[in-house]
Amino acid sequence: MIKKVLIANRGEIAARVIRACKKLGIQTVAVYSEADQHAPYIEMAEESALLGPPRVNDSYLNVEKLISLAKKHGVDAIHPGYGFLSENATFAKRCEAEGFIFIGPSSEVIEKMGSKIAARKIMSQANIPIIPGVNEAITSPEEAVQYAKDLGYPVMLKASAGGGGIGMEVVHSDEELRKSFENNQKRAQTFFGDGAMFMEKKIEHAHHVEIQILADKHGQVIHLYDRECSIQRRNQKVIEEGPSPFISEKTRQAMGDAAVTAAKALSYTNAGTIEFLVDQEENFYFLEMNTRIQVEHPVTEEITGIDIVAEQLRIASGQELSVKQENIGVTGHAIEARIYAEDPVTFFPSPGQILRLELPEAAYIRHEIAITKGMNVTPFYDPMVAKLIVKGKDRQEALNRLRFALENYHIEGIKTNIPMLLKVVNHKQFQVGQTTTAFVDEHYIPLIKN
């Protein structure tokens, strides 16, 4: 078993990994930037170390400093969490070269899935349904226009190396596409160092449904069922729930089988997520694979009873999965709401000092949180400051409990998206589970404009 882990991340995911390590008797090293020096996760770890100044390139993306600290503190493994370097094949390869266990899949697999174009080709070869689109890098706006005419508008323009909605845009005309292509290509080059663009047909009224998988180093691959993640703003998730209220049991099983097939085709190890778009007839199409722990993993943990982060640590240590597919079931319904430090109307970040923090408490409420009263929320990182997870015996009970928890969740000193979350949860379309990826644009935006 791994003995000591350096957590190359911050905030609530760093705290989550530390808890899992403590459960397994593994020591931890927390790292932090100057902006995070008073963050609560630091005190949870046995050891801690300063990375550098607040900006990510000087701290959480500083590979040389992370490797140096890993050596200094004598760790045998590095957990990247999500975001930052979690899907960076170069970092994973460096960890491997330096003799550290990278808690995730191999650098080779990360590299394959890091290119959405390459991922589409691999999934197609494995007979996983993919969205109609272009499997090569598009080199110019005019070439993009020609492909779009063949596919038919609307189309989804995407950065091959993209993530977090960056470099992604729905376009409806030639003129719009020409402008969008150049803007998104520049953004992709700036954020990812890779301006390669591709295109897919826009699936109208689509649901975003993903399958959590676990795979050990002994050839065993299992799925932990599904999560619905259709409530998104700017192509980033806001509310996730499991199981999906939309798909049938037949589709659920087919998607689970497809996810396992995809993982086996990659010789995948550790935790990962296969994301699908599902149309109104329940046809599903591969969207992308996330080669890391997901923000929304608590939803799956609540309905299956499986500690996914602990499984990551066991797998990385060379152990077999602690559970077989036939022994995995779903109990009840869980919903996660992401709490963002942002204006609920403009979605602009809202940094500042937390003057009041009162959290709802109940046996059915789970908090994953990165802040405390008196802390400063900085402008340097993603504005998500907490996750609220509730569970009920069924979806209706979970919805009622989520509404109660949000109404009793109090943060002052900064703006948060809690008003938005309440409007979404109270909307009739969400109540009946008809939550496509267009929900925010079609239902929430008009609501706040009136």
Q: What is the C-alpha to C-alpha distance for residues 290 and 293, in angstroms, rounded to an integer?
A: 8
**Nearest alpha-carbon partner for 108 in 120, 100, 98, 96:** 96
Looking at the DSSP assignment, which residues form a beta bridge with residue 284?
A: 278
Residue 371 burial class via C-beta count within 10 angstroms: exposed 0-12, middle 13-18, buried 19 and up? buried
**Nearest alpha-carbon partner for 10 in 27, 329, 303, 34:** 34
Q: Is 10 a catalytic residue?
A: no
Residue 167 burial class via C-beta count within 10 angstroms: exposed 0-12, middle 13-18, buried 19 and up? buried
Cβ atoms of residues 338 and 387 within 8 Å: yes
Given the residues 233, 252, 292, 366, the one annotated as active site: 292
Q: Which residues, including other chains, have CB under 8 Å from residue 190's CB and lie 6 or more apart?
A: none
- Give the three-state DSSP class for 162: coil
Which helix (H) or strand (E) segment is 182 a member of?
helix 174-192
**Nearest alpha-carbon partner for 161 in 95, 202, 122, 115:** 115
Q: For the packed helices 174-192 and 141-151, what is the interaxial angle rounded to 10 degrees?
A: 120
DSSP-derived secondary structure for 43-102: HHSSEEEEEESSSGGGTTT-HHHHHHHHHHTT-SEEE--SSTTTT-HHHHHHHHHTTPEE
Beta strands 101-102; 376-377: pairing state: unpaired
Which helix (H) or strand (E) segment is 412 a member of?
strand 410-412
Catalytic residues: 292
